Copies of this chain bind each other. A is one copy, B any other.
Amino acid sequence: MEKIDKMWIAPLPTDSAYVKTFRLHYIQNGKEKSWDALKVHDSVSIVIFNTTRQKLVFVKQFRPLVYHSSVTSNGGDVANVDLEKFPIELGVTLEICAGTVDKDKSWREIAREEILEECGYDVPVDQLEEIFSYRCGVGTQGSKQTMYYCEVTDNQKKSPGGGVGDEIIDVVEYSVDEARAMVYQKGNINGPPSFLLGVLWFLMNKRSNK
């Protein structure tokens, strides 16, 4: 996963299919204001627990923008990067399974498909328990993400997972104790807040008396 040979920056084309920018103007209490923004798809995320082996199921992947941010915020230049000072692992995140709502299907169905594509478990939609919804990037885009909880078994494992198309995703498993140690350890977690939120929710609601 971590074999990256070269990295360089170019201007964003105006017809980017992924980052659609705009300036939002509004009048608040009689005063004109504006906010620069981009439009991002809503998304789903799923806390997966394998009850056969009592393991939480997460995904690891190289996130080029996390790497870029790590390098540039610490004085580096991605186009001429010192790989000893900024190893590629700085861009490898630990996340819960997730995906964007970019198809004309229900959110639960999209979550079900992400579990199969990324982690290889084929589960019925009614196995998904909705935890909560929140707003991502309130200062840059404001999209909605709904988080689900899903218990799976070894019998439901139908493929290795790993993503579709160009995706390169590693499926990793953590015991409950390993996950607990990770969220109690104060420090740098190379993953999104939804990862920490999902693990804390699981520990509070599914393992609070253990």
A residues at B contact (CB < 8 Å): 3-13, 16-19, 21-31, 33, 35-40, 42, 62-70, 72-73, 78, 93, 95, 100, 130-145, 166, 168, 183, 186-197, 200-201, 203-204
Q: Is B25 within 8 A of A63, CB to CB?
A: no
B63 touching A139, Cβ below 8 Å: yes
User: Across the interface, do B37 and A65 meet the contact criterion of CB distance under 8 Å?
Assistant: yes
Partner of A135, one of B18, B25, B69, B137: B69
Minimum-distance CB pairs A-B, first 8: A65-B142, A66-B142, A12-B21, A69-B142, A19-B36, A5-B27, A193-B193, A7-B26
Q: How many Å lie between the Cα of A205 and that of B51 in the bound state?
A: 27
From B24, B141, B168, give the contact of A9 (CB < 8 A): B24
Task: Kindly report which residue of chain B lies nearest to residue A32, judged by CB atoms.
Answer: B6
Q: Quick check: A144 and B65 within 8 Å, CB to CB? A: no
Does A23 lie within 8 Å of B16, measured CB to CB?
yes
Q: Would you give 27 A-B contacts (Cβ < 8 Å), ordered by A? A: A5-B30, A7-B24, A7-B26, A8-B24, A9-B25, A10-B23, A10-B25, A12-B22, A12-B36, A21-B38, A24-B68, A24-B78, A33-B166, A65-B139, A65-B141, A69-B142, A70-B142, A73-B144, A93-B135, A95-B138, A132-B186, A133-B187, A134-B195, A135-B192, A136-B192, A137-B140, A200-B200
